[in-house]
């Protein structure tokens, strides 16, 4: 799939103007590429979204969620991304910082008034920079005992569920994915 994606990116670089007609024409090829990639790599399923001019023009799931099980992948399937989420989230936020939509030093509650940590001071003071620098006070991933229960917990409850005795002075580093889980829009859809 990565090779197919790189080929599409290379083609796009050669043709700077992308029209709605070209997007629609490419979508039929995309389904074939997805099916071929699944057969070649053996992955049981995937989802693809295509956004054109800030609108989702294509959203489809392929295959099954887990090999040997019947549940199919659809447009709302949540995939575990592991550490890939860090690169995606930080790239998106960096673009917004570059556009001056947000600042690295914005408190999280400025953008998400419902955000709540285990401590009122941390709730008020923790910033985007703190989250992405892994100095929010949330524990490192090794301290989260039940990751599946964490994934089932809705975002407003996550921070109190996973962090009870953190460093709040921004001097300690604790690597983990919890920072990305707490971002706005990370709620699980049931």
Checking if the pLDDT of 23 tops 80, the result is: yes
Instruction: Sketch the domain layout of the chain as residue ranges.
Output: 2-63, 84-181
The reported pLDDT for the residue numbered 185 is 42
The reported pLDDT for the residue numbered 7 is 58
Q: Which range among 3-12, 43-52, 136-145, 155-164 has the greatest average pLDDT?
A: 43-52
In the predicted model, what is the mean pLDDT of residues 27-54?
Answer: 92
Comparison of pLDDT for 162 and 36, the residue scoring more:
36
Q: State the Cα–Cα distance between residues 177 and 183, nearest whole angstrom.
A: 11
Checking if the pLDDT of 27 tops 60, the result is: yes
Residues 135-187: pLDDT tens digits?
877 766 544 434 444 455 445 555 554 444 444 555 554 555 444 444 444 44
* 7 Cβ contact list (under 8 Å, min separation 6): none
In the predicted model, what is the mean pLDDT of residues 68-82?
Answer: 87
- For residue 75, the cross-strand partners are none
In the predicted model, what is the mean pLDDT of residues 72-87?
Answer: 82
Checking if the pLDDT of 76 tops 70, the result is: yes
Take residue 83 and report the two structure tokens written for it: 């550490």
Phi, psi of 51 (to 5 degrees): -115, 130
Checking if the pLDDT of 130 tops 80, the result is: yes
Comparison of pLDDT for 71 and 168, the residue scoring more:
71
* CB neighbours of residue 96 within 10 Å: 16
Q: State the Cα–Cα distance between residues 48 and 38, nearest whole angstrom.
A: 12
Q: State the Cα–Cα distance between residues 20 and 22, nearest whole angstrom.
A: 5
Q: Using DSSP bridges, classify how beta strands 45-52 and 55-63 pair: parallel, antiparallel or unpaired.
A: antiparallel
In the predicted model, what is the mean pLDDT of residues 70-93?
Answer: 85
Phi, psi of 16 (to 5 degrees): -65, -30
Q: State the Cα–Cα distance between residues 51 and 65, nearest whole angstrom.
A: 23
To which residue do tokens 């910082």 refer? Answer: 97
pLDDT band at residue 94, thresholds of 50, 70 and 90? very high
**Residues composing the chain:** 190
Q: What HEC string does 51-70 produce?
A: EECCEEEEEEEEEECCCCCC
In the predicted model, what is the mean pLDDT of residues 123-138?
Answer: 83
Share of the chain above pLDDT 90, in %: 29
Q: State the Cα–Cα distance between residues 178 and 190, nearest whole angstrom.
A: 20
């Amino acid at each position: 799939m990565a090779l197919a994606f790189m080929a599409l990116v290379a083609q796009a670089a050669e043709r700077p103007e992308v029209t709605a007609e070209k997007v629609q024409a490419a979508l039929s090829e995309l389904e074939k590429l997805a099916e071929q990639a699944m057969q070649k790599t053996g992955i049981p399923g995937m989802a693809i979204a295509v956004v054109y001019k800030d609108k989702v023009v294509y959203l489809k799931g392929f295959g099954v969620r887990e090999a040997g099980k019947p549940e199919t992948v659809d447009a709302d399937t949540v995939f575990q991304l592991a550490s890939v989420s860090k690169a995606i989230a930080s790239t998106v936020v960096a673009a917004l910082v570059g556009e001056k939509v947000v600042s690295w030093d914005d408190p999280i509650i400025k953008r998400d008034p419902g955000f709540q940590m285990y401590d009122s001071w941390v709730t008020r003071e923790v910033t985007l920079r703190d989250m992405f620098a892994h100095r929010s006070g949330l524990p490192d991933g090794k301290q989260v005992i039940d990751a599946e229960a964490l994934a089932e917990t809705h975002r407003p409850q996550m921070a109190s569920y996973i962090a009870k005795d953190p460093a709040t002075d921004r001097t300690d580093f604790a690597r983990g994915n919890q920072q990305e889980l707490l971002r706005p829009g990370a709620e699980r859809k049931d």
